[in-house]
Amino acid sequence: MADSKTILVTGAAGFIGFHLSKLLLESGMKIIGIDSINDYYSIDLKYDRLKQLGIILIENNNKKKYESVIHPHFTFYKIDLQDKNQINSIFELHQPHVVVNLAAQAGVRYSITNPDAYINSNIIGFLNIIEACRNFPVEHLIYASSSSVYGLNSSIPFSVNDNVDHPISLYAASKKSNELMAHTYSYLFDIPTTGLRFFTVYGPWGRPDMALFLFTEAIINDKPLYMFNNGDMIRDFTYVKDIVKSISLLLTKPPQKNNDYFNLNSPGKSIAPYQVFNIGNSNPVNLKYFISEIEKQLGKKANIINSPMQQGDVKITHADVKDLISYIGFSPDTSIEYGIKEFIDWYRSYYHN
């Protein structure tokens, strides 16, 4: 991508947004980062990610300002996506060519007890982003969906051709809503949109509410490790660097109008400039093996407590990524053994443990 291109990344202080911003900055691209830095999990971790990107918070005369001390092509704003006026101001000022919307209220279980957060962030926030893309036209809008949209789907592996009408959490429903909203705007206003259904992303700088982080923390600190559904679960764990490389390859490959759509019969494509892809490792592992590999890397056994399946969880995830590989010529294939080692090395370094 030409250096003159400006990429707007929402959720830039988040797990995936941080890694994507880092990759694109190292590639010489100009990045506009947005994040609300909410307290769903440690804001210190979010600020430490930003420090890795060269962003520091400067306070002067009771005024706060974020400045880049490393990358002259990185500008950061602490903004909530619900603030439509500020979002529009940033689009008007920077005129981004491509938008990657990774900001969202994450967490399947949290959505059961805090539904308002998902409507505000994942629906209203996404509406403000896609409206800005309409009013300040962009070449491509890429946005995060989730494997959670497959819900009660029993066809394995999960394909973008499968029906996703039966989500089992509000988080999943909000992500499917994003796909529907994107299709509508692609059709009505010719906005090229690409939705990405992420499958259990993990790796260094990961979220503290996700399995690898929770399990590692429990084992290191001699705390109980709660293994849901007695370990009878299978997950398509996907290494974060595979995720962001896939996104980087998609930046300059927006979907085109598809006059053959009605012959394709594929929910992942449309007559509009719209497409949806799975991004997964496509080599799922059993939860018991996942835990045993963490134990192996730590050199320490877990204190496992078998627990029932939690509300909103599914037993198996497995991504069919043939369409993605065909489209970008890259296969997310980092091994779970390598990925866990990289995370644990980071965890020990970051927490001095």
**pLDDT, mean of each 10-residue run, the chain (353 residues):** 80 97 94 94 95 83 74 91 96 97 84 85 96 98 96 91 90 94 97 97 96 96 90 92 98 88 68 95 94 96 87 84 96 96 98 89
This prediction has a pTM of 0.94
Domain extent, residue 57, equals 6-202+240-281+318-333
How far CA 253 is from CA of 134, 155, 274, in Å, comes to 19, 29, 11
39 lies in some domain: yes
How far CA 278 is from CA of 15, 195, 200, 321, 322, in Å, comes to 18, 9, 11, 6, 9
Residue 256 carries which side chain, given as an amino acid letter? Q
User: How many CB atoms are located within 10 Å of the residue 268 CB?
Assistant: 18
Q: What is the pLDDT of residue 353?
A: 81
103 lies in some domain: yes
Task: Report how many domains make up the chain.
Answer: 1
Looking at the annotation, which residues are catalytic?
A: 171
347 lies in some domain: no
Read off the DSSP letter of residue 12: T
122 lies in some domain: yes
- The secondary structure element, H or E, covering residue 145 is strand 140-146
Read off the DSSP letter of residue 234: E
290 lies in some domain: no
Which residues make beta-bridge pairs with 239?
A: 202
User: How many CB atoms are located within 10 Å of the residue 325 CB?
Assistant: 15
Q: What is the pLDDT of residue 106?
A: 82
Read off the DSSP letter of residue 122: I
Show the tokens assigned to 191: 């906005």
Q: What is the pLDDT of residue 166?
A: 92
Closest listed residue to residue 2, CA positions, set 32, 33, 27: 27
348 lies in some domain: no
User: How many CB atoms are located within 10 Å of the residue 73 CB?
Assistant: 15
300 lies in some domain: no
207 lies in some domain: no
Dihedral angle computed from the Cα positions of residues 275, 11, 164 and 254, in that order, rounded to the nearest 10 degrees? 0
Give yes or no for a contact between 309 and 317, defined as CB atoms under 8 angstroms apart.
Answer: no
CA atoms within 13 A on the CB side of 17: 31
Which residues make beta-bridge pairs with 78?
A: 35
Q: What is the pLDDT of residue 265?
A: 60
Backbone angles phi, psi at 198, to 5 degrees: -75, 140
**Could you tell me the sign of the dihedral formed by the alpha carbons of 155, 159, 161, 165, in that order?**
positive
CATH number, domain with residue 119? 3.40.50.720
How far CA 348 is from CA of 212, 220, 221, 224, 335, in Å, comes to 13, 10, 12, 19, 20
